[in-house]
Structure formats: structure tokens, C-alpha cells
Amino acid sequence: MLKFSTMKVYLTLLFPKTAASGATLERWLHKTGTELKAGDALLAFHANGRSETLPCAASGTLKVTLCREGEELPRGAGIAVLNSPEVQAREIEKRGLGKILTPDEYQDTLAHAEAASIRLPPEEL
């Protein structure tokens, strides 16, 4: 009998390279800590004069959002980190929709996200 790994890994979800250029994040549709299924709407974005939603590429727990509402979503850029089953994460990575992080890369991502969220107005710099 085959055994499948139930180990979970950190998976950075990427904004699809096929998505419209100049897309802007309107809003996150879920808070961190939310358990998501593949296909659930993850975020709403605005591009080419209309609003759309981006489905979550994998199942897992939303751990970190890497973009803020109102920011541009560059094609191929990391947008969120999920804690996802390893087998599914490897498939997402093969399809170019995500990247599995090592524990050190995950810690670096957390530090970067935390630092990026602290933006003082110019008069306070």
C-alpha cells in the first residue's frame, strides 16, 4: 500500500504570469489563519477596468499575506504563504503557481512582511 506524505510545507502562492498587467489588489477575502480549499476566492483585484477574484491554487492555512490592499500585483510575484500538504504543494510548484519555502526562507518572508507593513509617513521619517 502506498503512503502519501501528510507533512505540511510553506508554499508561496504567485500571482499568475497570465494575469492582466497593471492589476491592483482591491481586498483580501480571507484573514490569516483561515483554512482554504483549492478554488476558494483568495483576493479581489482590479484590472482592465473591471474587478475579478483570484482563486486559491492550493488548499491550506493562510499564514501570511505579502501584498497590501491598493498595491499593484506584478505577474509572477509572491502574494501569500499557505501551510499546505506537501504532495499538493509540489504539484502547484510544478505548475509554476507557487514555490515551496525552506524553514529559513519562511522566516525571512515573515521578517520581510513584518518590516514592509511598518511604513511611516514621510513627515515621521
Mean pLDDT for the chain?
84
CATH code at 83? 2.40.50.100
Percent of the chain with pLDDT over 70: 87
Rounded Cα distance between 39 and 119, Å, is: 32
pLDDT digits (tens, 9 = 90+) for 57-97: 999 999 989 989 999 988 888 899 999 999 889 999 999 88
Quote the strand ranges of 1-125, DSSP E.
Answer: 8-14, 24-28, 35-36, 41-47, 50-55, 60-65, 78-85, 98-101
pTM of the model: 0.80
In the predicted structure, residue 4 carries a pLDDT above the cut 80:
no
The answer to whether residue 104 sits within a structural domain is yes
Answer whether residue 96 is part of any domain.
Answer: yes
Mean pLDDT (whole number) for 107-123: 63
Residue 6: which pLDDT band, with cuts at 50, 70 and 90? low
Number of structural domains (the chain) is 1
* pLDDT reading at 30 higher than 90: yes
Within a domain: 57: yes
- Residue 67 forms part of a structural domain: yes
* Residue 78, strand partner residues: 14
The answer to whether residue 30 is domain-embedded is yes
pLDDT value for 109: 83
In the prediction, which pLDDT does 117 show?
Answer: 61
Domain that holds residue 96: 8-124
Is 2 part of any domain? no
Which of 8, 4, 6 lies closest to 106 in space, CA to CA? 8
What Rg value do the Cα atoms of the chain yield, rounded?
A: 15
- Whether 1 is covered by a domain: the verdict is no
β-pair partners for 61: 35, 83
The reply to whether 72 falls in a domain is yes
Rounded to whole angstroms, the maximal C-alpha distance in the chain is 64
